[in-house]
Structure 1
Amino acid sequence: METHEIYELIEARRKELNLSQSQLGMLALGQDNSSVIQAIKRGSSPSAHKLEAICNALGLEFYVGRKRSDGETQSSSNQEGSEVPNDFAFVERFDVSLSAGPGTSGENAKKLAPVAFRLDWMREKRLAPEKCVVCGVRGNSMEPLLFDGDLVLLDRRQTDPRDGQIYGVVDIEGDTRIKRIELIDNGLLLRSENPECRTELRHGEDANRVQIIGSLVWSGHSYDASSQTLISQKPRKSTMNHEWILPR
């Protein structure tokens, strides 16, 4: 396959997922810029490592080995598809942590095992599984709504910010974060749910540099049984008067 064909394939899939080139760079390589994609466009062949990371981020197959026949490829695809329950859809998950406090760079943005969601629920929410992504939450500034270690489902189609909605974003320094966005004249506010955390202003050109990954549509919280402790309480004094009836 020629370099220009690789570029055309990447671009077609990127646009299908409604990702910018910078967002793809962040998800695939932890780089908040389009330099890798632009280099491919200019005819520079990407390394196998970078190409594999890009394919993983886009949900494309990266294969190196003996040439496979069409029948063999189709058989492999059918076999993989038969393992997927018909009433569930699998959404891609990356090990990017959306910071609920100070930003994190997402430098380890590799693909993890997908997360299954019921198809009827996704249809009810009008979500397209292939245009969603699951990420983790890091920090406490979005408590009590989101906690450190939670998983969140983002709708990648929702990239035009609406006032008061919560979004996963790539901030101006390349940090991946999750915040409630409030729109103001010529800018926006990144607001936390935790009242102890400050609201951050992105004004003018800085506001334009904030890239929306997607809007929050679901969150999941897990509990560690070993860390759960009972709060000791003093026995409560009874305030009821009992009349005992004794057998004769």
Structure 2
Amino acid sequence: MEISDRIRTRMKELGLKSVDVTKAMKVSSGGVSQWLNGLTKPSGQNLLNLAKLLKTSPTWLLSGELEKQREANVSNDGLSQADIYEHHSPLHHDDVEVPFFEEVELAAGNGFTSMLDSSSKTSRLSISMLETAKVPASSVACCKVVGNSMERVLKNGAKIAIDTRKSAIKDGSIYAIEHGGMLRVKYLYRLPFNGLRIRSENEDDYPDEELSQEDAKEVRIIGRVFWQESIL
């Protein structure tokens, strides 16, 4: 069975037509037709989006190796809906374990590295998703968004993945930070004289916080958010 056969199979199982795929993915009808006829293969973001639409994983679309039960449990970018589990749960060959934190409060003064080592839970992420994002598994941590301060882009309860290598601020990107002993997920902007602006998506309820150089020193950047779980 080729990738075109697997695409058609999942479309039939889900009751989807070519026009549905075209509209949902915002791609040309000709492109979808080429996928279905085996003339070309979806790749990159198109592959990830197609896997999400077909409720399967990029790996299964490409190789057909994943079992049917696993397909039904996979959502955004190959992340399983039941992805939080204890240390000794079996690991699939296309998965990798990364530290996961449910609590929003961090112990003030403790280094994030020690937290990674002591995490009692892990999150299962797709290796193919991480390869597409070009983030090594050793640099990834996951946590859960709590509250509505970022609600238009990050839903309350959504799981996010953080690239812990990215500690240099790129204005307007979303970062996980430790601030006052709390884990916070916010937009960051640099200000003159090494100041820092912390911005929420929900600006009406959570106005900007502008920190002086001295106060900004109390903010520790854990990493930049590069993936989020899809929540209906």
TM-score by length of 1: 0.50
Aligned to 1:204: 213
What letter is aligned with 1:182? Y
Aligned to 1:106: 106
> What are the superposed Cα offsets for residues 28-75 of structure 1, whole Å, 9 maximum, x if unpaired?
xxxxxxxxxxxxxxxxxxxxxxxxxxxxxxxxx9xxxxxxxxxxxxxx
Aligned to 1:185: 192
1:201 Cα deviation from its structure 2 partner: 0.8
Computed over aligned residues only, the root mean square deviation of the Cα atoms, in angstroms, reads 2.4
1:122 aligns with 2:130: yes
Among candidates 89, 95, 98, match of residue 88 of structure 1: 95
Aligned to 1:168: 176
Query: Is the CA contact 1:166–1:179 (under 8 Å) kept in the aligned structure 2?
Result: yes
Query: Is the CA contact 1:95–1:112 (under 8 Å) kept in the aligned structure 2?
Result: no
How far apart, CA to CA, are the structure 2 residues paired with 1:112 and 1:142?
26
Query: Is the CA contact 1:95–1:111 (under 8 Å) kept in the aligned structure 2?
Result: no
1:113 Cα deviation from its structure 2 partner: 2.9
How far apart, CA to CA, are the structure 2 residues paired with 1:222 and 1:185?
37
> What are the superposed Cα offsets for residues 7-36 of structure 1, whole Å, 9 maximum, x if unpaired?
xxxxxxxxxxxxxxxxxxxxxxxxxxxxxx
How far apart, CA to CA, are the structure 1 residues paired with 2:106 and 2:156?
16
1:219 aligns with 2:209: no
What letter is aligned with 2:128? D
How far apart, CA to CA, are the structure 2 residues paired with 1:127 and 1:133?
11
Structure 1 residues 127-146: aligned runs within 5 Å: 127-146=135-154
1:149 aligns with 2:173: no
> What are the superposed Cα offsets for residues 181-217 of structure 1, whole Å, 9 maximum, x if unpaired?
0111021100011131200011111112210011001
Q: Which runs of 5+ in 2 are unaligned?
A: 1-86, 108-114
How far apart, CA to CA, are the structure 2 residues paired with 1:121 and 1:90?
13
What letter is aligned with 1:92? P
1:84 Cα deviation from its structure 2 partner: 2.4
How far apart, CA to CA, are the structure 1 residues paired with 2:202 and 2:156?
13
How far apart, CA to CA, are the structure 2 residues paired with 1:96 and 1:221?
20
Other structure's SS at 2:226 match: strand
Aligned structure 1 segments of 4 or more residues deviating by more than 3 angstroms: none
Identity %: 27
1:221 Cα deviation from its structure 2 partner: 4.3
What letter is aligned with 2:130? M
Other structure's SS at 2:125 match: strand
How far apart, CA to CA, are the structure 2 residues paired with 1:117 and 1:199?
33
Structure 1 residues 34-53: aligned runs within 5 Å: none
- Structure showing greater radius of gyration is 1
